[in-house]
A and B are shown apart, each in its own frame.
Chain A
Amino acid sequence: MKSILQISTYKRGIFHIDPRTKLFLLFVGNVTVFLAPAISYEILMAATILMLGVLCGVYRFSIKMMVFYTGVILIQVVGDLYFPNGIRILVVTFAIFVRKIFPCVMLGGILVSTTRVNEFMSAMNRIHMPKNVLVPLTVMLRYFPMVSEEWVHIKNAMKMRDVSPTLLGFIKNPGQTVECIYVPLLMSASKIADELSIASVTRGIENPKPRTCLQQIKFHTADALCTIYFAALLGLVFFV
């Protein structure tokens, strides 16, 4: 199974960033994209994020994202110049919409995919994030990829029962389609929730003592570099 948060202790890439630094980067990156004054600046931001991805060892994701981002920019530029008016607004606004949220999604994807569950939890413990938010957040990040996996299974099962999981099928037979999507999805979700909670209780998630972690969680040179670089990028916004 492809999971977002890594479980293994397998190390890759040159950089290994502390989860706390990652939070900072995510926040600063988000604010920077928010405030970005021009498209050139947004592209610089995207390039920075992709480079960070390569340094962190997320090669395939970074390359995929680069191709996609370039495609979106191309669509926007070409569409702006050549498309007739009606389609232009539709296509170009969609491209802009994607472009605007893309850097944040890329950054989030890269940072989350290089974080291990245990590392994340103990780092968050150190900054005293309340457990009531930490546990759901962690579970959520772990569960996301499973949703898409479930969806594939459900689609197959629907085909077997001759219910079409497409928009057309929905129009033809709304009640049944909706039921055939929601029921298995929610059912498996609640089952997984039960299993996951039992597993995590067995492994001592309720231990009130401070969490220990095999992985050393410290502020390294890589953290300092990233922090300074992203802060500088944010500072640049105010001077451009």
Chain B
Amino acid sequence: MSSQVQAIKKGMSTKDLVTVGVFSALFFVATLVGGILFAPNPVLTYFTPLAVALVSGPVYMLLSAKVPKRGAIMILGIVMGLLMFVTGMYWLWSIAYVVLAAVAELVAGIGKYKNMKLNIIGYIVFSLNPIGSYIMLWINQKAYTEYLTSKGTEQAYMDTMLATAQNWMLPVMIVTTALCALLGAILGKKLLGKQFQKAGVA
């Protein structure tokens, strides 16, 4: 593949693009699996970011190990944002995907995408994205509830959800999500070392 890399000197080769595509698909599936358990319940909905961060960690780590180049995470963020919008999620989530992917890119870029610690920090930043769909609850609660009820969310759901949404919830959610992301990333790192590097995949 070396000639191929030279052919497109700037940025990613076709192989990288295909790899990002395959892993984006896995990432989306992992997000769904993590989200489906918690998102539909008004109290447990706040655990969605945690579960997603935990489940999708290994996928992200292997992706960043396989494509250590500028743009990989950005593309993942853009594609995920597109899919989330198409499947009818709250639009701030899509924006959060793109913005946080850009930040994660910058962080991982400091270590030239090969520094494991910086990659993990990048993932922690990136995994805060589902909070984008809740953040309005604290910034502008009224607009958010009006938006959701007009979209068909039932009043009882909203009431239960709001009762759970105390002021301390947001920082707690951010911290716990970051912790879960750290756990997920460490799990990914362990798997990388134990299995994938031995098999020559990563």
Contact = CB atoms under 8 A, between A and B. Distances in A.
Interface of A: 26, 30, 33-34, 36-37, 39, 42, 88-90, 92-94, 96-101, 103-105, 108, 131-133, 135-140, 143-144, 147, 178-179, 182-183, 185-187, 189-194, 196-198, 200-201, 205-206
A187 B196 CA distance: 8
Given A131-B17, A140-B25, A201-B14, A186 B58 contact: yes
Interface string B108-147: 0000000000000000000000000000000000000000
27 contacts: A89-B157, A93-B154, A93-B157, A94-B41, A96-B153, A100-B88, A100-B153, A104-B87, A133-B75, A136-B17, A136-B75, A137-B79, A140-B28, A143-B26, A144-B28, A147-B26, A183-B191, A186-B58, A186-B191, A186-B201, A187-B196, A187-B199, A190-B202, A191-B201, A193-B15, A196-B18, A197-B17
Contact of B22 (A30, A179, A196): A196
Nearest to A178: B187
Interface stretch (B5-13, B99-107, B174-182): B5-13
Contacts of B160: 89
Interface of B: 4, 7-8, 11-12, 14-15, 17-26, 28-29, 39-42, 58-59, 62, 66, 71, 75, 78-79, 82, 85-89, 150-154, 156-157, 160, 187, 191, 195-196, 199, 201-202
- In the A-B complex, list the 6 residue pairs whose CB atoms are closest, starting with the nearest: A139-B21, A136-B21, A197-B15, A197-B18, A135-B17, A104-B88
B152 to A, nearest CB: 6
B115 to A, nearest CB: 21
A205 to B, nearest CB: 6
B154 A186 contact: no
Nearest to B158: A93
A33 B88 contact: yes
A96 B157 contact: yes
Given A33-B88, A139-B17, A97 B191 contact: no
Nearest to B27: A140
Contacts of B8: 206
B25 A147 contact: yes
Nearest to A37: B150
Given A36-B152, A147-B26, 19 more contacts: A33-B88, A37-B150, A89-B42, A89-B160, A92-B156, A93-B156, A101-B87, A105-B88, A131-B17, A132-B17, A132-B71, A135-B17, A137-B82, A138-B21, A186-B196, A189-B22, A190-B62, A193-B15, A200-B18
Nearest to A187: B201
Contacts of A138: 21
B14 A200 contact: yes
Given A94-B40, A194-B15, A137 B21 contact: yes
B18 A136 contact: yes
A206 B41 CA distance: 47
Nearest to A136: B21
B75 A139 contact: no
Nearest to A145: B25
Given A96-B152, A100-B151, A147-B29, A190 B18 contact: no
Contacts of B152: 36, 39, 42, 96, 99-100
